[in-house]
Amino acid sequence: MIGEEDKIDEIISRILLDTNCTSIQLYLSGEDNFRYKMATLLPYKGNRIGGNKPFYLEVIKDKLRDRGATSISFLEADDMMSSNISSFEETVICSTDKDLRTVPSWNYNISTKVFQLIDEDIGRYNFYKQLLIGDSVDNIPSPWKLGEVTATKILNEVSGKSDKDYYQHIIPHYLTFLRSKDKEGNYKTKWYSGQDIGSILYEVGNLLWMRRTQDENERWSVF
């Protein structure tokens, strides 16, 4: 029987082979991620409260540390990957997380084995799609009924343009869904209570933003 530690070695060897890389850098999430404090609309990862952690989690973390995995207290492993791109042409981000497909780099999906180049335009498009639809896995909000199909239609009208163009284009669409009311006059978006749209997008954007540096004060902003 192959043990958990042997499986890790096997997975790493396969990733190196599939990506034609000669070395690998491993990262773990810190214990005091800034997103928990930033989230006010919904608790960050609040839908995971009470869930059981995988039995072998600590064993796996120890094994990764033995292989040189590093972490920073206020960053997640995803942030560590996005902020450690030494060369656009020579770095491959290996993950299953769609958030990392907002980062310009080569990207390898460990599960599907899809290998693709995320350039600036693709990364920007993917980020604004996330901004519209949120992330149910991490409990990052979006307006009621604003899903991927609608988001794609909205963004296709501005694809290839600047951050400012994307931002200004999505605001009226976002507000339409955000302010939708039921017959009793209540907002269908349960977390919305009249907050400023700029504040909402700033919070959601920073919950989704994959850090480009390891500066604790780095924040995403269009302006």
Residues 13, 101: Cα–Cα separation, whole Å: 23
Phi (first) and psi of residue 135, to 5 degrees: -150, 105
Q: Which tokens hold the place of 197?
A: 């749209």
pLDDT band for 1, please (50, 70, 90 cuts).
Answer: very low
Residues 93, 22: Cα–Cα separation, whole Å: 14
Of the listed ranges 14-23, 83-92, 156-165, 172-181, the least confidently predicted one is 83-92
Architecture of domain 4-118: 3-Layer(aba) Sandwich (3.40)
What is the tens place of the pLDDT at every residue in 140-190?
999 999 999 999 999 999 999 999 999 999 999 999 999 999 999 999 999
Residues 27, 178: Cα–Cα separation, whole Å: 36
Q: Which tokens hold the place of 168?
A: 């200004």
CB 134 within 8 A of CB 142: yes
pTM: 0.93
CB 81 within 8 A of CB 100: yes
User: Would you list the domain boundaries of the chain?
Assistant: 4-118, 120-208
CB 125 within 8 A of CB 155: yes
| DSSP state letter for 143 | -
